[in-house]
Structure 1
Amino acid sequence: MPFARLAAATTPTCHIGLGLAAVGRPGYINLGRDRDLGEDRSADALRTRTHDLLDAAYAQGVRYFDVARSYGRSEEFLADWLKGRPDADDVVVGSKWGYTYTAGWSTDAERHEVKDHSLATYDRQRAETDALLGGRLDLYQIHSVTPDSPALTDKDLHARLAEAAAGGLTVGFSTSGPAQADAIRAALAVTVGGEPLFRTVQSTYNVLETSAGPALAEAHDAGLTVIVKEGMANGRLAEPHAPDALKAVAGETSLGCDAVALAWILRQPWTGVVLSGAATVPQLLSNLHAPAVDLDVDQLTRLATLKEEPGAYWARRGELSWH
């Protein structure tokens, strides 16, 4: 693990991080947002909510926080919290570039974000991130790399990323879509001066979408830290939406469907950090029970039956509305 502060952690929650995609902007695709956030989606309301989540996560031993340029004002909210918490010098901060937030703080914008993996976008967004997070930024990732992304072949961009890495910034990438495994393997082949460029990979992986698993194992074996996102499948694995098999296993453990779903990811030998995308403090505290879940062979077998074909999974995710 490239982050000594995380590698040295020994708390039960040291492998759980908090992602701020759901609370850094008023609109997102997660199920249940009307219930979770209510009607007040003002910047002040979401800033307060974000700070409450960060306080609760930190108090429970969480030390990795995940934001992105396209997550509305998530970087700003996190930066404000860090300024008010000088005791949180052991926090590891990861952000992402490559998408621009375009919704203008609206939940019904025609387009909420625009993807662009060009060197010009990297330079612009790196400056924007540095203006907010400055020296607190530990990890900067290319957001949602796919096999056809120019970020995999742009040598000038690779040189600029290698320069950032030489300056102490960890460089990584995230993936999305049904071809995540192909994107991961293509990124593992990217080198600068004969050395691998990327030190982390962040991918979608959950009991419904497991197709990236073998490639993530390869990335781990190659020395990359694996960060898992969307472990709750944008709310599809949480009550009341969870499939019956997951509800049954959760009932047997006396813990929530969310804790079971995240525990299943933590059992993967290549998992470095799994992100909670909680929008409320009770959700977060429930997520943090995941390390206490002990799944037996029969329960793991039943959960394995939930796996979906990747194309079908991502098609359904693409149908989720921004709200």
Structure 2
Amino acid sequence: MPFSRLAHATTPTAHIGLGLAAVGRPGYINLGREDDLPAERTVDALRLRTHELLDAAYAQGVRYFDVARSYGRSEEFLADWLTARPGIDDVITGSKWGYTYTADWSADAETHEVKDHSLRTYERQRAESAELLGDRLDLYQIHSVTPDSPALTDKELHAELAEAAAQGTTIGFSTSGPAQADAIRAALAVTVDGEPLFRTVQSTYNVLETSAAPALADAHDAGLTVIIKEGMANGRLADPYAPEALKSVAAETSLGCDAVALAVILRQPWAGVVLSGAATATQLASNLHAAVVDLDEDQLARLADLVEKPQAYWEQRGQLPWH
């Protein structure tokens, strides 16, 4: 599988990926976004910002890039970048299907995305992703699987996903919500002709929301590559929004709150790739310092006290405004 390339990475930042959720569309829920993006959030302005981030990430050793059909024009921006740099052949590209972007390039839309895990949606979005990314699409993931998702039980869908896997595309899934652990374990049980269907899992894990950890460890033990998203809790763990305990530990390391928050995740033995959701090159550079953060047991214990109950965490996330 393509993620095996990361096992031989020569730079410490290779296990940090770049997700384009925050720059592929004009509206998103990350805190501080009004200061991070250009004043005019045109398609061309965000395309340029995305390419600047991709250039900076690649130059600093990042080799995994993460997009989705619902991240506005993120697939298009990434495809343009890859086309303009034909000599770059050592990156891994992952996308997701299952949400349709409906905001029509507006930050004020009433509905930004619509979820549908049906076979019909997969077939439509797979064709859309293939048109943009072609054979550069290494990983295709079901977007935000929950325990009640029909994607876990739809045998026709499983057969088509298995066919895509047979043709060389790695098949994975992502999770969201307070029952991530249940969704992960249910997905681990999905097989086609006696073989596990999924080879990767992408889940939310950070110092505030750790409930998926045991299930992610199980996934790792089962041979899946674990990708971690929302390590910054949509900006809640970055300055100036970070809790005081995180600010205190960051001050002791002389690095940013973001680097410390991501470093905690990198310490987990099951974490294969940790995503940066940076919207600026400065944020990205700060995020990448996570690879060299050294935390002692006292600091880790103080950060462990920040854990929230999953229901409370996801309720607060659900209240973050699109802006």
TM-score range with shorter-chain normalisation? over 0.9
Q: Deviations along 1:38-71, whole A, 9 cap, x unmatched? A: 4211000000000000000000000000000000
1:272 aligns with 2:272: yes
* Root-mean-square deviation (Å): 0.7
Name the amino acid aligned to 1:204.
T
Runs of 4 or more off by more than 4 Å in structure 1?
none
Find the counterpart in structure 1 of residue 139 from structure 2: 139
Residue of structure 1 in register with 2:281 after alignment: 281
Alignment-mate amino acid for residue 208 of structure 1: L
For the Cα contact (< 8 Å) 1:2–1:225, is it kept in 2? no
Equivalents in 1 of 2:306, 2:112: separation in Å? 30
Q: Distance in 1 between matches of 2:86 and 2:39?
A: 32
Aligned partner of residue 218 in structure 1, secondary structure: helix
Q: Measure, in 2, the Cα distance between the counterparts of 1:173 and 1:2.
A: 16
Matched residues in 1 for 2:88 and 2:290: separation? 23
Q: What is residue 246 of structure 1 aligned with on the other side?
A: 246
Specify every segment of 5 or more residues in structure 1 that has no aligned partner in the other structure, as ranges: none
Alpha-carbon distance in 1 for matches of 2:86, 2:6: 18
Task: Give me the TM-score of the superposition, normalised by structure 1.
Answer: 0.99
Unaligned runs of 5+ in 2: none
Equivalent residue number for residue 31 of structure 1: 31
Among the aligned pairs, what percent are the same residue? 82
The corresponding residue for 1:200 is: 200
CA distance in structure 1 between the partners assigned to 2:8 and 2:156 by the alignment: 35
- AA of the residue aligned to 2:160: R
How far residue 6 of structure 1 moved from its aligned partner, in angstroms, is 2.0
1:6–1:92 CA contact under 8 A, matched in 2: no
Taking the TM superposition and a 5 Å limit, the aligned residue runs for 1:148-167 are: 148-167=148-167
- By how many angstroms is 1:2 displaced? 4.6
Q: Distance in 2 between matches of 1:295 and 1:165?
A: 39
C-alpha separation in 1, matches of 2:222 and 2:203: 16
- Give the match's secondary structure for 1:3: helix
AA matched with 1:90: D
Where do 1:1-323 residues align within 5 Å?
A: 2-323=2-323
Deviations 1:175-200 (A, max 9, x none): 00000000000000000000100000
Mean CA deviation greater in 10-19 or 221-230: 10-19
TM-superposed deviation, 1:88: 1.3
C-alpha displacement of 1:143: 0.1
Paired residues, number: 323
Q: Distance in 2 between matches of 1:237 and 1:87?
A: 36
Does the CA contact (< 8 Å) of 2:231 and 2:265 recur in 1? yes
Give the whole-Å Cα distance in 1 for the aligned partners of 2:223 and 2:132: 30
